Amino acid sequence: MLGLAVVYLLAGALGQKVVSVGNISPAWPPAGVALAALGVLGVSRWPGVFVGASLMAFLSGASAAAALGVGVGNTLAAVLGLGLLRWVGFDKGLERIRDVVALCAGAGALCLGVSAVVGTASLVLGGRVPWSSLAAGLRVWWVGDLMGVLVVAPPLMLFRRWAWPRRGGEAVVLASLTTVLGGAIFFMPELPHSAAHAATFLLFPMSAWAALRFGPRGAAAATLCISAASIVGTARGHGPFATDDLTQDLLVLQLFIATNAVTGLLLAAASTERQRAIGQLQLLGTTVRSVHEGVLIAEVRGGGALRTVFANQALCSLLGYRLEELVGQDPCALYGAQGPEFRQRTRQSLLAGEPVFAEVQLTRKEGDLVWSEVLLSPVRATGEDTTHFVATHRDISATKELQARLVAAERVAAVGTLAAGVGHEINNPLAYLVLNLEAAERGLTQGGMTGMREAMSSVRGALEGAERIRLIVRDLQVFSRQENQDRGLVDLNALVPPAVRIISHALRGRARLVEEFGPVPRVSGSEARLGQVLLNLLVNAMQAIPEGNPSLNEVRVRTSTDASGRARVDVVDSGAGIPAHVLPRIFEAFYTTKSSGEGTGLGLAICQQIVRAHGGELEVRSEPGRGSVFSVLLPPARVQAPAPPRPLPRVSPPQPPPGARRGRVLVVDDEPRLAQSMRLLLEPFHDVVTTTRGGEALALVDAGHRFDVILCDLQMPETDGAAVYQHLCAHAPDQAARVVFISGGAYTPESRAFIDSVPLRVLEKPVRPDVLMGTVDAALAAGAEPSGADASPAAAVGGARH
């Protein structure tokens, strides 16, 4: 504090020695010394400012009371200025435009008014300054303090530690030129006034040079040198600002100094901010280019058009494109594998400034698809509308494959849990089927009308048993088929009964099973995946209820529509419930409270994943001792097509429609008994040729035989159905259009891709007789007579019939 007081006195003596107007100096360096000292040393050093200012005023001839008033005013100005700077987050490095503005306008122009008012009033009241000079004194005092802050404070803040500039030679040249130019303008009395006035403008390029090349330090040093030369020269009557009126001269000079100082500091701050921004951009660019995740930046143009402006190497490698092929293109083209609704919704969200997070399939240059987790983030570069968006892509193809395997494993585990019950459900109608067939055989052996009637009755019973087995197998296929990515309209009321039938036997010893159907909208999704959710929830409910008291417990499946119009399925059980500390973790993968062998900890996690993938929610409510309620909420499909009527089982022999013509049918199936059964069914109405090998079927066609309908098994050894169809497309296109595939439903990924790519009908085994007859008759009605049928049915058989 004592050192600060001494420095304040020396700076004040310098200011008064250079120039003084009416006992007040229009250039007051102590104002800058006080503000810089408190900013660097801390506000607790304020007594040093007070002592220095009071002593300076007293030594200048003011009374003790007036001197104390001057000390109070100068101290308040410094303390208030520092408080304002700290409040706005001032940085003493002056590398931001906001810091320069805060120093000049806040701590300088605003807070120095306190010092001017208090100090001038003290001198007036103490008789040092007459009342008539009060206004002029206020102006000179305020301008003098402002010059001190603008000229002296920045160098003191910036040059706390001296460091030789990196461009030392350039700094010496700049300092030399500025000194020579300032001395020539303000210290050469023989220089004409007009020439000195014109030469003054040459000092601005010097300040700009110092600001742009050496930053705030260079600007502060140049301002200090130019201000010192101009003030001393003008006070001695030299330079372009010197006239007979010293007060007027100093005001013009101060305007020049203020303009030069503020311009230099602002230019240095702007240059520093620009350099820092460029450095950050270079760092960001290097980081974005080197990260392993794909990054794409797109520009939003007028009308909502999007244009790619950048893509890093990781994204180019992921998609197989070169950077030049992506830049300038619409990034939405990469999401061509998604539906138009997704692309439209994404575009609307981005233009509205909302981020989008989703799992999408991107189209590679080769045409194949890759799964990516994408985060689309809008950017408002101008602070108003969205100008760009950044898309960050992470390849999750391996993750999706692992998820698919986990889903399949959990689906098999769920069905495996019910294997005994499913076996029992099949054995019952199977026994019924066998017994009825044996009775039919006895009736036929006995002969006569009575035996025939008994045989027919037994056959009808056998058909009913076979139909029950077919329904059970179809239910199992709903939960075990691999084509679970196929989406369509799903009727939840039709999806519940298969799951209930599968679990009913296993649940019989634990609880009553109640179905409660209400009006429910159809949803867009995968029947297999949603069926798996229902089955897993039912298994979860079953395992929550101990065996032994089925009359006291209940599992209820309820369908309805919630208040927001979503489809709702509730699975309610009266089991043990879920403890409060367990409830938040039930959807975590591999977390389970069940004993070994009862659960994997994946069921509920996979259910939640499937429901969320369908845009829905899986909610749970539970109370220990009072059971649980799991609710599946799914958004309704945009188009609610009416559900097709479910065909009823037919036990009467199928008959062709009236007017149906007799056609030639080729049956290709590697199961001889199935091929023979189809021949026996169709042969009363059509000419039928059967073969158990795809190669034999192709040999018949290549030999010139033509057929109206070709019933072909999809999975066969050696030459499968896909190979048969491809050969027909190449050598007999007219026959390829007549193919109807028959499949057992166990599709491989290759066969599923093939079925999706051809416009042919596929019949699922076991094929009901009426469906098979109807399919053949429909194909005959839609097709024309086969061309080149130059062989008789007998010739067509020729060793191929079995």
- DSSP conformation letters of 592-622: --SPTTT--S-HHHHHHHHHHHTT-EEEEEE
User: Mean of the per-residue pLDDT values for the chain?
Assistant: 79
Task: Kindly indicate the confidence band of residue 787, based on its pLDDT and cuts at 50, 70 and 90.
Answer: very low
| Pairwise CA distance, residues 618 & 604, whole Å | 9
| Out of 6-10, 566-570, 775-779, 781-785, least confident range | 781-785
Of 156 and 163, the one with more pLDDT? 156
* pLDDT over 70 (residue 319): yes
Write a three-state SS string for 35-99: HHHHHHHCHHHHHHHHHHHHHHHHHCCCCHHHHHHHHHHHHHHHHHHHHHHHHCCCCCCCCCHHH
**Most confident option among 57-61, 80-84, 193-197, 368-372:** 80-84
What does the pLDDT read at residue 344? 72
Residue predicted with more confidence, 731 or 484: 731
Does residue 480 or residue 709 have the better pLDDT?
Answer: 709
- Distance in angstroms (rounded) separating the CA atoms of residues 385 and 388: 9
Average pLDDT score over residue span 313-327: 86
CA dihedral 784, 788, 793, 795 (to 10 degrees): -170
Is the Cβ–Cβ distance between 304 and 331 less than 8 Å? no
Q: Which residue has the tokens 């599968």?
A: 502
For the residues 606-632, what does the mean pLDDT come to? 87
pLDDT at 140: 81
What is the per-residue pLDDT for 783? 67
Phi, psi angles (nearest 5°) of residue 392: -105, 120
Which of the two residues, 245 and 214, has the higher pLDDT score? 214
Short-list 685, 676, 723, CA closest to 741: 723
| Residue with the larger pLDDT of the pair 555 and 769 | 555
Supply 131's token pair: 């009342």
What pLDDT is recorded for position 304?
A: 67
**Residue reference for tokens 């009363």:** 684
pTM: 0.47
Q: What pLDDT, on the 0 to 100 scale, is given for residue 532?
A: 77
| Per-residue confidence (pLDDT) for residue 789, from 0 to 100 | 41
pLDDT category of residue 427 using cuts at 50, 70 and 90: low
Residue appearing with tokens 């051809």: 758
pLDDT > 90? residue 420: no
- The alpha helices in 447-526, defined as continuous H runs, are 448-480, 492-507
How high is the pLDDT of residue 570? 94
**Could you tell me the pLDDT band of residue 356, with boundaries at 50, 70 and 90?**
confident
Mean pLDDT calculated for residue range 642-663: 56
Percent of the chain residues topping a pLDDT of 70: 81
Q: Among 300-314, 384-398, 445-459, which stretch is predicted with the lowest mean pLDDT? A: 445-459
**More reliable by pLDDT, 199 or 208:** 208
Residue 145 has pLDDT above 80, yes or no: yes
Q: How confident is the model at residue 431 (pLDDT cuts 50, 70, 90)?
A: low
* pLDDT score, position 25: 72
3-state secondary structure 109-176: HHCHHHHHHHHHHHHHHCCCCCHHHHHHHHHHHHHHHHHHHHHCHHHHHHCCCCCCCCCHHHHHHHHH
- Taking residue 443's Cβ as centre, other Cβ atoms within 10 Å add up to 20
Residue 4's identity, in one-letter code, is L
Between the CA of residue 676 and those of 332, 688, 718, 764, what are the distances in Å? 54, 10, 21, 18
pLDDT, tens digit (0-9, with 9 covering 90-100), for 519-544: 999 998 888 788 878 888 888 888 88
Tokens of 563: 């208040």
Q: Are strands 664-668 and 709-713 parallel, antiparallel or unpaired?
A: parallel
Tokens of 172: 């010496």
Sequence-distant (6+) residues with CB within 8 A of 62 are: 70, 122, 123, 126, 128
3-state secondary structure of 572: strand
pLDDT reported for residue 312: 85
* C-alpha 135, offset from chain centre: 64
By 3-state DSSP, what share of the chain in percent is helix, strand and coil, each rounded to 5?
Answer: 55, 15, 30
Residue range 684-704, pLDDT digits in tens = 888 999 998 999 999 999 999
* Cβ-based neighbours of 405, under 8 Å, separated by 6 or more: none
Highest-scoring range by mean pLDDT, 236-250, 480-494, 732-746 = 732-746
Res. 799: pLDDT tops 50 = no
* E strand or H helix at 220: helix 203-235
pLDDT at 435 over 80: no
Kindly report, residue by residue over 164-178, the tens digit of the pLDDT.
677 778 888 888 888
Please choose, from the candidates 335, 284, 291, the residue with its C-alpha nearest in 3D space to the C-alpha of residue 314: 291
